[in-house]
Chain A
Amino acid sequence: RKEVEQDPGPFNVPEGATVAFNCTYSNSASQSFFWYRQDCRKEPKLLMSVYSSGNEDGRFTAQLNRASQYISLLIRDSKLSDSATYLCVVNNNQGGKLIFGQGTELSVKP
C-alpha cells in the first residue's frame, strides 16, 4: 500500500463548481497533514495545514479523519486560477520528512 494515496484525476470542472479531493495515508501514527498545490514545473506551495477539527480558509475546506486515515480538500466556487496539481502531504514525525502523494490534477475551464 502506498504511504499516501490520492485520486489520480485529472478533474475537469467548470468555473464556479465545487470539487473535492480525497487522500488516504497508511501510517496510523502520522502526526501532521497538509495540502500543497503545485503549478506545472514549479515548487509545491503550502495551501493549508489540516487539523483534526477541520479547518477552512476562504473557499477551501480541509478535513481529517484519523480513524479512517483519510484527508479531504473541498474547493468551492472554483476559479480558473485554481487549476494546478493538489498534493496531499503527511509528516510522520515532528521535524522530519514530508511524504507526498502523487497529486491530483485540477483543470478549471471557463
Chain B
Amino acid sequence: EPEVTQTPSHQVTQMGQEVILRCVPISNHLYFYWYRQILGQKVEFLVSFYNNEISEKSEIFDDQFSVERPDGSNFTLKIRSTKLEDSAMYFCASSEWENEQFFGPGTRLTVL
C-alpha cells in the first residue's frame, strides 16, 4: 500500500539554525500539506500546496517558514531560524483530490 514517507525521523538543532524537513508524498497525489503537533496538544495545520504554489497557510506559517517541491517526488518544509517553540512533531500529508488526507510518520524536531 502506498504511503507518505518523511525524513529524518528526528532532528535536533540549535536555536537560530535552519532546518529542512523532507517528505515524499504518495505518487499520484496532487495536494500536499504540512501540520505540526506540539507535545500534548492537538494537530495544527501549517500550509497546503497545490500546482506548485501555496493554496492556504495558517498564522503559524510566518516568514520563517517556506515550502518547496524541488522535483517530482519531494516536498520540503524549511524553517529559516528555529526558535524553541518550533519544537514539535511535523507531519506531512497528501491527498489525491480535495478529499481524504494521508499522513506520513512525522519528523520530531527538537530545538535546543
Contacts and interface: CB of A to CB of B under 8 A. Distances in A.
B is bound to A: yes
A103 B43 CA distance: 9
B46 to A, nearest CB: 9
A44 B100 contact: no
Interface in A11-69: 32, 34, 38, 41-46, 49
B68 interface: no
Interface string B27-71: 000010101000001111100101000011010000000000000
Interface residues of B, number: 28
B43 A97 contact: no
A94 B44 CA distance: 17
Nearest to B102: A46
A96 B42 contact: no
Closest 6 CB pairs of A and B: A95-B98, A97-B45, A94-B98, A43-B103, A100-B43, A102-B42
Given A97-B56, A99-B45, A100-B42, A46 B91 contact: no
27 contacts: A34-B100, A38-B43, A42-B105, A42-B106, A43-B91, A43-B104, A43-B105, A43-B106, A44-B43, A46-B100, A46-B101, A49-B99, A94-B98, A95-B50, A95-B97, A96-B48, A96-B55, A96-B56, A96-B98, A97-B33, A97-B58, A98-B43, A98-B93, A100-B44, A102-B41, A102-B42, A103-B42
